[in-house]
Chains A and B, each alone.
Chain A
């Protein structure tokens, strides 16, 4: 790109800036920008970097607790897990790149979130991912599932971080815009956490990692633009990941971090060199000057514009203490990684770029970062959905037939086909493997474990965004609780449509309010997150999807609970109140073919009370197996416990007053199914009553079938076949 190119309104529009925003650029500079400067403004003011539509709402989320060391605003959130250790984690979207090139898009998504975490000094110990694909019968879906899963595995497996949990669901609203949200959890000593604020005028600015090429130029602005059907032609802007280099970068950075050389460090993610240099300097309240000739380059004749906008992967920017360059360089050379001093910290408050002897950009940092545009977009509420009464819903031919159907649906079927492509055991600390509620990873060398999960129920969020936002938070809390761990904090990945449509903005606002309410009620703050807007195709948004990643702590992994039934003749008990809520349920969608109704209400007081009761019982060793009740209701929960434990169960018929299908498939919240040895039942029942926790014995474990009341038994073999075969046969039928 010629640096003398004339800035026309077309060029401004191609950079995703409005005419008003362009006027603002000119005011900030006191002149017309050159093309490099325009490129820098365009990425810094993109939705992805500036959070311009979401920032006013994100402020409503609670972010503090005594155990929070670092909330939102850094590369990742940090919580104290005791004994001098911190858990560092974040979730991030890579939706648009994954739709265009699923393997590389997903792989680089994993690479990016890993860097966010090890940038802060943490060794990554677990990866998770939350995936939403279009309808299974959409012609692209199979190809996208295959590429995304292979990409996540290809990257995570090579770097040697276990991928231990996640979710994968399907809905037509994602046909043209899938969601690929990746989360990483890492561990660091609390006194060795690294931040991004630059400091020390004259300190060297150092570039490490891979060389810079022309890949991904304009990736950040792409991530903020709606898709149209011709977006497949955007392929060349997708970055290619190199997990081998990432692995070396992890080891080299952690080795350098063990010394005392780093002042500040930031990964080059979206908008690469631009966002990393601007964010580091502006957070530190200093200026920064880079000499672009010193940037390691993979291609020849790269312009300043290209270098500043390149999204080549596996690169980091650091500010070092003076005099420590040689020590740092030796470490990076040992790992065969590029190392170059490319600039200095200044006191100018400006970003100044030099290239081939000339100043090619000179921009005050304020307008690029802290004073970037912020919009209070108009919003309108989602109209309240009509209540669906269970009694008006058709009963199934038989409960068993409905259960079998549900367990073989795309959303409820076993995701083994996916997680067996991920190395979920490397690092030798995976205690609860994928397929249950939360996964549990041991804190290396200790008895402690971190329970991790991702959850969201987009159909609830669409019907009632406030309830849906609260439910997503509550479900992660419940999944963590079901292992015996104490939920500590969350990260969020807010995937929504075009915020310039008031209805979409209203979904966003209400989801945030619901999340905030749940976080407050459960003492479960948000410590990091990411916003992905414009997830829509031809004017139609995806279901609002605030994916939540939760992290909890279990002091002793030997006290953990898992979902598999352990023995015959044990009592099955249901904790929580069952009203038989069928609105927005999977039963309604999959069996009755209706997507309607209000989602179940989220009573956060009951959630906390019931969860605290269950966790305490687990820690007392009174619970043989535990599973939270979510999609598909109680019967699905019991069936999953039976399949995991290779052991059947006999359930009593539904209590009088609730239609059987509503009782067994209703999705009322704050519930758990417990397996209890008969001897422990009286004491547990008594303590439930004392705590005001609804508690009901619903059946008994044993046998090789699931039997409900007087209905004919459903063989576990048949259930397993249905549950396990949908995804492999779907993926196999190419």
Chain B
């Protein structure tokens, strides 16, 4: 599986994503600079976490309009797998590849902690190694992760199986208390209609070995290997 990690100015989880991809797909990913719209064909494009362009104006807004994103959008439309983690999710919504928007956390504070996620869709390229309904533990670290979309969009996402991860408690209940940022319907990650573009606020690349506190993120990368090998 060939992968690429896009680096915007002030991306800061690019290294973490590259480490995880190399470790779990067995092949070092390509590093693609934001000004570079011309990069080799790959099976997966990852937009990493961070504060691209300082999160100035709106999180992800300026990165979404950078040269590399024109190419990412074109390839996504051809069916190439694209995933955006944290700031990458913000970039994908700003770029129009995913519906909705990520707003300031309801508590107005940055939040960094492990949260529990319920796998709501285990048939995707990103989640096939998880069981339907499985509860996994993955960290979040963001200031603008409060997912918003209008009611029709939310209903459509739910009906079409595009809601992939939902914040929940340890027992799998999507309660208010388990929602770290005020996201509507506890949504933590979504797919586009075609199922090849995923955005999520939690960071699976941060929990891939016991030394870091857990391995629940591994399944995410193993799913990709399974789907895209």
Contact = CB atoms under 8 A, between A and B. Distances in A.
Given A420-B111, A421-B110, A425-B206, A158 B10 contact: yes
B113 A247 contact: no
Interface in B47-66: 49-51, 53-56
Contact of B10 (A248, A422, A433, A442): A248
A430 interface: yes
B112 A242 contact: no
B50 A423 contact: no
B69 to A, nearest CB: 18
Contacts of B13: 160, 426
A427 B211 contact: no
A659 B220 CA distance: 56
Contacts of A243: 10, 51, 54
B20, B53, B54, B213 pick with most chain A CB within 10 angstroms? B54
B77 interface: no
A150 B10 CA distance: 19
Contacts, number: 83
Contact of B15 (A427, A430, A433): A427
Contacts of A157: 51, 110, 112, 141, 143
A158 B15 contact: no
A247 B87 CA distance: 16
B204 to A, nearest CB: 12
B212 interface: yes
Interface string B55-84: 110000000000000000000000000000
A489 interface: no
Interface of A: 150, 153-154, 157-160, 242-245, 247-248, 335-336, 419-431, 433, 442, 557-558
B12 A247 contact: yes
A60 B151 CA distance: 69
B112 A244 contact: no
B228 interface: no
B205 interface: yes
Contact of A428 (B53, B56, B212): B212
A247 B10 contact: yes
A245 B10 CA distance: 8
Task: Please indicate which of the listed interface residues B49, B205, B211 has the most CB atoms of chain A within 10 Å of its own CB.
Answer: B211
A245 B49 CA distance: 17
B109 interface: yes
Given A425-B112, A428-B206, A431-B211, A159 B9 contact: no
11 contacts: A160-B13, A160-B50, A243-B51, A244-B51, A248-B9, A422-B110, A423-B141, A425-B139, A426-B13, A426-B49, A428-B206
B157 interface: no
A8 B110 CA distance: 50
Contacts of B55: 158, 244
B193 interface: no
Interface of B: 9-10, 12-13, 15-16, 19-20, 49-51, 53-56, 109-113, 139, 141, 143, 203, 205-206, 211-213
B6 to A, nearest CB: 15
A303 B109 CA distance: 40
Contact of A150 (B15, B109, B113, B211): B109
Given A428-B205, A442-B211, A558-B211, 15 more contacts: A154-B110, A157-B51, A157-B110, A159-B10, A160-B10, A245-B54, A247-B10, A421-B109, A422-B110, A422-B112, A426-B141, A428-B212, A429-B212, A430-B212, A433-B213
Nearest to A245: B54
B48 to A, nearest CB: 10
A421 B143 CA distance: 9
A244 B109 CA distance: 19
Contacts of B110: 150, 153-154, 157, 421-423
A420 B112 contact: yes
Nearest to A431: B211
What 9 A-B pairs come out closest when comparing CB atoms? A160-B12, A244-B54, A428-B16, A158-B51, A423-B141, A247-B10, A421-B110, A423-B112, A153-B110
Contact of B54 (A158, A428, A442): A158
Nearest to A731: B109
B141 A428 contact: no
A146 to B, nearest CB: 9
Residue of B112, B139, B205 ringed by the most chain A CB atoms within 10 A: B112
Contacts of B10: 158-160, 243-244, 247-248
A237 to B, nearest CB: 24
A253 to B, nearest CB: 15
Nearest to A247: B10
Contacts of B9: 244, 247-248, 335-336
Contacts of A442: 211
A429 B50 CA distance: 16
A110 to B, nearest CB: 14
B112 to A, nearest CB: 5
B100 to A, nearest CB: 23
A248 B113 CA distance: 26
Given A157-B110, A422-B112, A428-B205, A244 B56 contact: yes
Nearest to B205: A428
